Amino acid sequence: MLADILTRLQKQASAGESGVAAAFELNWQSLEPEAQKLACLLSLFALAPIPWSLVESAASYSDLEFDLKANCTILVERYLLQELAEDTYQVHDRIREFLSDKLEELAEANELKRGYCQAMVAVAEDIPQTPTLIDIAQATLAIPHIEETATVYQAWLSNDDLISPFVGLGRFYEGQGAYEQALPWYKQSLLAARERFGEEHRDVAISLTYLAGLYDSQGRYSEAEPLYIQALAMYKRLLGDEHPNVASSLNNLALLYKSQGRYSEAEPLYIQALAMTKRLLGDEHPNVASSLNNLAALYKSQGRYSEAEPLYIQALAMTKRLLGDEHPNVASSLNNLAALYKSQGRYSEAEPLLIEALAMRKRLLGDEHPDVATSLNNLAGLYKSQGRYSEAEPLYIEALAMTKRLLGDEHPNVATSLNNLAALYKSQGRYSDAEPLYIEALAMRKRLLGDEHPNVATSLNNLAALYDSQGRYSEAEPLLIEALAMRKRLLGDEHPDVASSLNNLAALYKSQGRYSEAKPLYIEDLAMTKRLLGDEHPNVAQSLNNLAALYKSQGRYSEAEPLYIKALEIAEKQLGANHPNTITYRKNLEDLRQNRQPWFRRMVAFVWRWFH
């Protein structure tokens, strides 16, 4: 056949481009109609490797009912298709251009384009919110073809499928922590929805929600908020005030406010979302359990542990009734309740829950899964809090290694694992081991999240705390000042993290004997913590203890004592008598009183001699 084509080409009077075009045309004319249709279908794919499974899927959606593989072999033999590896092919750009022209002459052109788009939509919709490396590997070869669908063949996407390629691409990149690569796809999703449907449509609201969620992940709260508000208002106009999507939007906005420390604004939204979900879906529904969990998490953040606990317990019991004892959501509920117990110093109650959550996640999700890595981190964190460093370290190391294997070396979760392991080393006084990990976590967060992100501020704060512990005050101070300023810019002047930064900077000044500079920061921290979290929050106890320690260092014992007493009172009430913080405050108060005792004894001795 090739010899015949060459013979016919020799009869052509012209050469160069026209000769190449003639070769293509003669080759094309020698194909059977079925091979021609397959070639036209292949021209729709991007200039990238094409998995055969995608071709089969596109052919199925296009209702091509002939022997695909046999015709594929013919195309390879005719040099119209290149076989890169087993079941992986590619079309040369010049041949693709030629086949694209032939496609337009085909009566079934629109049917093939629609079938191709449907096949790519099916892959896009299967991309999870947090893809593992296995998910990524399965989707990677399809990504350029999904991109082709979104950018070139958008007109052939059905109304129901329009935003699916954009959302799938966004999830693919966002789930890997590649936020900047995800951003244009979410933006294009919003643009495409608006262009086809106008400003008022469900897909516009969905696109707004995805874009807002990405901004939230990036710490771009001021950009996320108006989008969440816009999506909520649109859902209400389109679906009415009472709809599950409205409840979900209320929940998203509440989550944002919680991230910003705007607890008083988050609470009524969580309560409204919970009540609406119950009315619409009944008291027994997985969404109700999720709402209970979210409200409990808010109360935990506020130190309202007695209010959080029954909600966590209720959510756990409901999830078990609805989904069975063995379900990923049950593992998450166990983890959340354990975190509450850990915050309260109820370590013996937290440990079995964390162990059960870890074991369940391994059974349900396999030994290699991001949620398993999270459980390892959480259990390690508990052991660290108990001073069980030798048990914590291998879990932190395993979590870090697993996170890298599953999500890649560059991912926000990797930075978190690095930070956790560094914190353990710092607690052990292994400063030389901790420092490079803190520095690596900081650099990674800047690369992935940008220079302005709450997690970057946290990394600056942690590195500064390490330097403070080492007496490297001149290196610690600028980092603490930068962290404080960043938190104010990103979270506002009134936020628990801002209060924490004030406390940390004050502690540095105290370590340097700069008492006059430390005092106003400690006082500001205490006042802010009371305003934000209430007078009875464990953080208030910590602030009282720190201010008392400053007064003690200055010999102002009469001012320090009532603060230590109040800190101990709060801790015993909120955390229990055996919590490490409670024990610390009690010891601080005893030390203070012992320091004053010699003076007291001298006075007693003096009075005794005077009267005897």
DSSP structure class, residue 81:
S
CA distances from 467 to 462, 487, 511, 543 (A): 9, 20, 12, 21
CB neighbours (10 Å) of residue 530?
Answer: 17
Q: In whole angstroms, what is the distance from residue 195 CA to residue 183 CA? A: 18
CA distances from 502 to 316, 517, 549 (A): 37, 11, 16
For range 4-28, the mean pLDDT: 61
Fold (CATH) for 2-140: Arc Repressor Mutant, subunit A (1.10.10)
Confidence band for 19, pLDDT divided at 50, 70 and 90? low
Predicted confidence at residue 305, as pLDDT, reads 87
| DSSP strands (E only) in 366-469 | none
Answer whether residue 314 shows pLDDT above 60: yes
Sign, CA dihedral 461-463-469-470, equals: negative
Predicted confidence at residue 111, as pLDDT, reads 96
Q: In whole angstroms, what is the distance from residue 593 CA to residue 134 CA? A: 61
Answer whether residue 45 shows pLDDT above 80: yes
Predicted confidence at residue 5, as pLDDT, reads 42
Long-range contacts (CB closer than 8 Å, 24 or more residues apart) made by 399-408: 399/373, 399/374, 402/368, 402/372, 402/373, 402/376, 403/370, 403/373, 405/133, 405/368, 406/132, 406/133, 406/368, 406/369, 406/370, 406/373, 407/132, 407/133, 407/176, 407/177, 407/370, 408/133, 408/176, 408/177
**Domain residue ranges in the chain:** 2-140
CA distances from 110 to 43, 44, 288 (A): 13, 11, 45
Confidence band for 268, pLDDT divided at 50, 70 and 90? very high
DSSP structure class, residue 83:
E
pLDDT digits (tens, 9 = 90+) for 546-591: 999 999 999 999 999 999 999 999 999 888 888 888 999 999 999 9
DSSP structure class, residue 409:
S
Higher pLDDT, 251 or 385: 251
CA distances from 11 to 4, 28, 454 (A): 11, 18, 72
Predicted confidence at residue 135, as pLDDT, reads 85
Mean pLDDT score across all residues of the chain: 91
Q: In whole angstroms, what is the distance from residue 487 CA to residue 495 CA? A: 8
Backbone dihedral angles phi then psi of residue 385, each to the nearest 5 degrees: -60, -30
8: its two tokens: 């016919």
CB neighbours (10 Å) of residue 556?
Answer: 13
For range 465-469, the mean pLDDT: 95
pLDDT digits (tens, 9 = 90+) for 173-232: 998 888 889 999 999 999 999 999 999 999 999 999 999 999 998 888 889 999 999 999
Alpha helices in 492-514 (DSSP H): 496-511
Percent of the chain, pLDDT > 90? 75
577: its two tokens: 């008598």
Reported pTM: 0.82
DSSP 3-state of 88: strand
DSSP 3-state of 15: coil
pLDDT digits (tens, 9 = 90+) for 103-139: 999 999 999 999 999 999 999 999 988 787 788 889 9
**272 contacts 257 by C-beta, under 8 angstroms:** no
For range 152-164, the mean pLDDT: 97
Confidence band for 9, pLDDT divided at 50, 70 and 90? very low
Rounded to an integer, what is the distance from CA 440 to the centroid of its chain?
A: 19
For range 586-600, the mean pLDDT: 81
Higher pLDDT, 178 or 285: 285
Backbone dihedral angles phi then psi of residue 176, each to the nearest 5 degrees: -95, 5
**344 contacts 575 by C-beta, under 8 angstroms:** yes
Predicted confidence at residue 13, as pLDDT, reads 39
**139 contacts 123 by C-beta, under 8 angstroms:** yes
Answer whether residue 606 shows pLDDT above 60: no
- Which residue is it, tokens 């850990």? 342
Q: Residues 67-96, buried b or exposed e (16+ Cβ, 10 A)?
A: ebeebbebbeebebbeeeeeeebbbeeebb
Q: In whole angstroms, what is the distance from residue 96 CA to residue 78 CA? A: 14
Specify which of 448-452, 476-480, 495-499, 568-572 reaches the highest per-range mean pLDDT: 476-480
pLDDT digits (tens, 9 = 90+) for 404-422: 988 889 889 999 999 999 9
Confidence band for 603, pLDDT divided at 50, 70 and 90? low
CB neighbours (10 Å) of residue 144?
Answer: 15
